[in-house]
Structure 1
Amino acid sequence: MKYMEMTAVELKNVSRDETLVVLPIAAVEQHGPHMPTGTDTIITTAVAEQVEQKLKESVLLLPTLWLGASQHHLRWGATLTSHVENYETLLCEICESLLDDGFRRVLILNGHGGNIGPMQISLRRLQVNYQNCQLMAASYWSIAEKEIASLMEGQCKTVGHACEAETSLIMHLRPELVHKAKIENFDDYALDVVDGVYLCNDMYQRTQKGATGRPDLASAEKGEKMLSLIVGQVSHVFSELLKTTFFE
C-alpha cells in the first residue's frame, strides 16, 4: 500500500494495529566526483518500494523524505540540508500525523548516515506521549549487515559514502548517473570512531574527495545481487516485527 496513491476513504479502512507504516528517509548531498547527489534517496526509495511490493497487505509506505541532516557535507558544496534540531522536529511531526490518526506501528527506514542520531532522538521525543505504540527506526544496511558484507571485496564491509556498496547499487539502479571515469580508490578516509571514541568531524575533514571506500571494486552485477539481498532481509524483518505484540 502506498500512502500517497490512496484516497482518504481507503486510508481510513487500513488497519491501525496490523499495519506497519514505513517512512523512508534519505538525503540529497555531494557524493564525491562520480556519484549523483540523490544517491541516498534513489537507493532508499528502491529498497522501500520493493519491500512494499513484497508486503502489500501489511506495509503502508510513505513517500521518501529526500531532505536529510547533512550539515557535515556542506563544506563540499552540492548539498541540501536541514539543521539537526529542525530535522528531529520534522520527523516527529510526520510521525505524529500518523500516530494521531490511530496508526500504532511506525518505522523509519533510513538511507543516510547523518540521519541516524536525529531519527533516534525523534523517537525518544515521541515515545513519552505514545507509549502504547511501536516506534522503530533502522538503516537498511543495519538490517542487512551480513548480506551486504558477503558481497564486499574491499576492507570496508558496510555502506560508507559513494563507496563500493553505494556505487554498485547506483550502477544497477541508475547506471547513466555514474561517472565511471572519475571512480578511484577512496580508501584513505579517516574513521569516525577510534578506540570506541566518536570523533565529530565533518566529511571535509574525513575525506580528500568527498567519498570513501573502494568504488573501483563496484559493479552493476554486485549492485543487483546486493539490492535483492537487502530487500529480502528487510522484508523478513518487517514481517517478524508485525508478529510482535504491544507492551502497554
Structure 2
Amino acid sequence: MKYAEMTAVELKNISREETLVILPIAAVEQHGPHMPTGTDDIICTAVAEKVEERLKEKIVLLPTLWLGASQHHLRWGATLTSRVENYETLLCEICESLLKDGFRRVMILNGHGGNIGPMQIALRRLQVDFPNCQLLAASYWSIAEEEIASVMQGDCKTVGHACEAETSLIMYLRPELVRSARVENFDDYAPDVVDGVYVCRDMFQRTSAGATGRPDLASAEKGDKMFSQIVKRVSDVIGHLTEEPLSNYP
C-alpha cells in the first residue's frame, strides 16, 4: 500500500495495530565524478518500492524523503542538505503525524550514511511520548550486510560512497546515469573510525574525489544480484517485525 496513492477514507480504514508505516529517507548530494547526485534517493526508493510489492498487505509506504543530512559533503558542492538538528526534528514531525493518527508501528528505512545519527535520535525523542509504539530505524545495508558483502570484490565489503556497491546498484537500476569513463579506484579514503575512536572529518577531508572504495570493480551484474538479495533480506526482516506483538511495548 502506498500512502500517497490512497484516499483519506482508505487510510482511515487501515489497521493501526497491525500495519507498519515505512518512511524511506535518502539524500541528494555529490557522488564523485561518475555517479548522479540522486544516487541514494534512487537506490533507497527502488528497495522500498520492491519491499512494498512483497508486503503489500502488511505495510504502508510513504514517499521517499529525498533531502538528507549532508552538511559533511558541502565542500564538494553539488549537495542539498538540511542541518542535522533540523533534520532530526523533521523526522520527528513526520513520524509524529503518523503516531498521532493512531499508527503504532513506524519504521525509517535509510539510504544515506549521514542520516543514521539523526534518525536514531529522532526515534529516541519520539519514544518518550509514544512508549507503547514500535519505533524502528535501519539502513538497507545494515539489514543486508552479509548479502552485500558476498557480492563485493574489493577490500571494503559494505556500502560506502559512490563505491563498488552503490555504483553496481546504479549500473543495474539506472545505467544511463553512470559516467563510465570517470570510474576509478577511489580506495585512498581516510576511515572515520581509527582504533575504535570516531574521527569527525567531512568528505572533503576523507576523500580525494568525493568517492570511496572500488567502483572500478562495479558491474550491472553485481548490482542485479545485490539488489535482489537486499530486497529479499529487507522484506524478510520487515515481515518478521510486523509480527512482533505490541504487548512487547507496555
Listed one character per residue, the Cα deviations across residues 164-206 of structure 1 (whole Å, up to 9, x for unaligned) are 0000000000000000000000000000001100000000000
Provide the secondary structure at the position in 2 that maps to 1:136: strand
2:48 aligned residue? 48
SS of 1:24 mapped into structure 2? strand
**Residue 192 of structure 2 aligns to which amino acid in structure 1?**
D
> Which residue does the alignment assign to 1:61?
61
1:219 corresponding residue in structure 2: 219
Paired AA for residue 189 in structure 1? Y
**Partners in 1 of 2:141 and 2:94 — Cα distance?**
23
Deviations for 1:114-165, whole angstroms, at most 9, x for unmatched residues? 0000000000000000001001100000000000000000000000000000
RMSD across aligned C-alpha pairs, in angstroms?
0.4
> Which structure 2 residues correspond to residues 10-89 of structure 1 after superposition, within 5 A?
10-89=10-89
| Structure 2 equivalent of residue 145 of structure 1 | 145
**1:51-130 equivalent positions in 2, closer than 5 A:** 51-130=51-130
Instruction: Tell me which residue corresponds to 2:197.
Output: 197
Q: TM-score, normalised by structure 2?
A: 0.99
SS of 1:125's equivalent in the other structure is helix
Partner-residue secondary structure (3-state), 1:18: coil
Q: How many residues align?
A: 248
Counterpart of 1:245, as a letter, is P
Q: CA deviation at 1:243?
A: 1.2
Determine the structure 2 residue equivalent to 1:2.
Answer: 2
3-state secondary structure, aligned to 1:63? coil
The one-character-per-residue Cα deviations of 1:18-39 (angstroms, maximum 9, x if unpaired) are 0010000000000000000000
Distance of 2:225 and 2:2 partners within structure 1: 25
Distance in structure 2 (CA, Å) of the matches to 1:239 and 1:87: 28
CA distance in 2, matches of 1:240, 1:198: 33
Structure 2 residue identity aligned to 1:149: A
- Counterpart of 1:115, as a letter, is N
Residue 186 (structure 1) aligns with: 186
Q: In the aligned structure 2, how far is the partner of 1:238 from the partner of 1:33?
A: 35
Listed as ranges, the gaps of 5+ residues in structure 2 are none
Whichever residue aligns with residue 130 of structure 1, its letter is F
Letter aligned with residue 100 of structure 1: K
> Which residues of structure 1 form unaligned runs of 5+?
none
Give 1:214 shift: 0.2
SS in structure 1 of the partner of residue 80 of structure 2: coil
Quote the Cα distance in structure 1 between the aligned partners of 2:182 and 2:244.
47
Distance 2:20 2:129 in 1: 19
Q: Deviation string for 1:98-125 (max 9, x for gaps)?
A: 0000000000000000000000000000
Other-structure match for 1:132: 132
Per-residue CA deviations over 1:6-57 (Å, capped at 9, x if unaligned) read 0000000111010010000000000000000000000000000000000000
Aligned-partner SS, 2:124: helix
Q: Partners in 1 of 2:64 and 2:93 — Cα distance?
A: 15
SS at match of 2:137: strand
